[in-house]
Chains A and B, each alone.
Chain A
Amino acid sequence: AQSVAQPEDQVNVAEGNPLTVKCTYSVSGNPYLFWYVQYPNRGLQFLLKYITGDNLVKGSYGFEAEFNKSQTSFHLKKPSALVSDSALYFCAVSAGSARQLTFGSGTQLTVLP
């Protein structure tokens, strides 16, 4: 069975500082990894995905994520955080014969002005 862990429920960062939201995964077979963001009372918005190839994936709104196979991690990063980045972030994996996404528990990111 596939699983995703987001070890931090809450991440606080000052505006302008770099941010990292952590994600580790467990799958059998090749992992296909996704990051989504959820703003209050809104649906999930797709940020980026890793399928194959370059371990550094660039996505929407200046976000990027680094795939590390040896550490089974897929951390989300942004060089300079904005207050408007404050939201709930979800890491997800799609692997094996399943087409559905298995989500982590989410990390609440707060960017402080």
Chain B
Amino acid sequence: DSGVTQTPKHLITATGQRVTLRCSPRSGDLSVYWYQQSLDQGLQFLIQYYNGEERAKGNILERFSAQQFPDLHSELNLSSLELGDSALYFCASSVSLTRGDRTDTQYFGPGTRLTVL
């Protein structure tokens, strides 16, 4: 158990809908990262937050957004869902004492499996 929690574990929804994925980082970790794992794209970085502020952006679609709250939990919002958005979405956290140190170990949650029908 990494100490990172994600809810829900599974999500089934229809095209065009909007969903919210939630992540609680390990106690004391300031950085939260979101990744998408799909069969065709592999594991891809979406976005990083550090202590409430957006820190880095990857291959995140404009239909997707995220935020990190004062208690450091994070939410990933996916809207206007398409079939191709079906994937496993991981949250990871790291301690990041210095606004995101690239040598930090990222600890991953169990993921949320999103199925868009």
Contacts and interface: CB of A to CB of B under 8 A. Distances in A.
Contact of A99 (B35, B100, B105, B107): B100
A101 B103 contact: no
B2 A43 contact: yes
Nearest to B109: A43
Contact of A90 (B43, B92, B105, B109): B43
B55 interface: yes
Contacts of B42: 103-106
B102 A42 contact: no
> Which of A90, A96, A100, A105 has the most chain B CB within a 10 Å cutoff?
A100
Contacts of A32: 102-103
B34 to A, nearest CB: 10
A46 B58 contact: no
B102 A43 contact: no
B74 interface: no
B45 to A, nearest CB: 4
B90 A44 contact: yes
A32 B90 CA distance: 21
Contacts of A43: 2, 4, 90, 108-111
> Which of B56, B103, B110 has the most chain A CB within a 10 Å cutoff?
B103
Contacts of B109: 43
A34 B105 contact: yes
A99 B55 contact: yes
B48 interface: yes
A101 B111 contact: no
A47 to B, nearest CB: 10
Contacts of A101: 33, 35, 45, 106
Interface of A: 32, 34, 36, 42-46, 49, 51, 90, 94-96, 98-106
12 contacts: A36-B108, A43-B108, A44-B92, A46-B107, A49-B105, A99-B48, A99-B96, A99-B101, A100-B56, A101-B35, A103-B42, A106-B43
